[in-house]
Amino acid sequence: EDQVTQSPEALRLQEGESSSLNCSYTVSGLRGLFWYRQDPGKGPEFLFTLYSAGEEKEKERLKATLTKKESFLHITAPKPEDSATYLCAVQAGGAQKLVFGQGTRLTINP
Amino acid sequence: DTAVSQTPKYLVTQMGNDKSIKCEQNLGHDTMYWYKQDSKKFLKIMFSYNNKELIINETVPNRFSPKSPDKAHLNLHINSLELGDSAVYFCASSQGGTGGKFRAYNEQFFGPGTRLTVL
């Protein structure tokens, strides 16, 4: 069965303090790994898709990387507005469904 | 605004009632989904429709019945509501198709969610 595990569950940083969120996955035939951001009371907002090991994507202070077993979401010099829950999901085999991890709740203190 | 929209935003009801949640997308996508997010924030797929045809039906009680009148709409009807049905329900859409050939089509866009509380 496809599995996605995110760590840590919660992370508290000071503004400007860079860090990384981890997403480990076990799937049969990865078709894509997705990162989403979810603010309280809202739906997940699409950030990135990564398709193959070695691929990297960047958006503002966020950079996502992918290996054969895990993905990292690096956040550089974060600001309080980056506070949110970050969700990782995989799409595998012939299925179109996304299998999500439990998320990392990120808090950036000013 | 191009988006995925859901109604209602909040739904509070008694055990045993029947209720519906509606979803509409104006992104021109042909695949739509229902996900359930439980109290631990885990998002789990329930159903998916591609061009009005059911393509994913996870292990969901028969009390849940999705209906897609056209490819822009996907509704969720729930019969005989139970306490355990309390959750946030999200609708999503993607360009769909076979997915394998068109990588960008795999990206799913989510609605704002419907918080269902069963008393």
Residues in B touching A91 (Cβ below 8 Å): 99, 106
pLDDT tens for A87-96 read 999 988 766 7
Max mean pLDDT among A74-83, B2-11, B41-50, B66-75 falls in A74-83
Tell me the nearest-neighbour CA distance from A46 into chain B, angstroms.
7
From residue B113, how far is each of A45, B3, B11, B21, B64 by CA, in Å?
12, 13, 11, 10, 17
Tell me the nearest-neighbour CA distance from B106 into chain A, angstroms.
7
pLDDT tens for A55-77 read 999 999 999 999 999 999 999 99
Rounded Cα–Cα distance for residues A37 and A29 (Å): 25
pLDDT at B97: 52
Which of A1, A31, A35, A96 to mutate: most B Cβ within 10 Å?
A96
Is A42 within 8 Å of B113 when comparing Cβ atoms?
yes
Do B31 and B94 form a contact (C-beta atoms < 8 A)?
yes
Do B4 and B25 form a contact (C-beta atoms < 8 A)?
yes
pLDDT at B56: 82
Rounded Cα–Cα distance for residues B28 and A92 (Å): 24
Give percent of chain A above pLDDT 90: 84
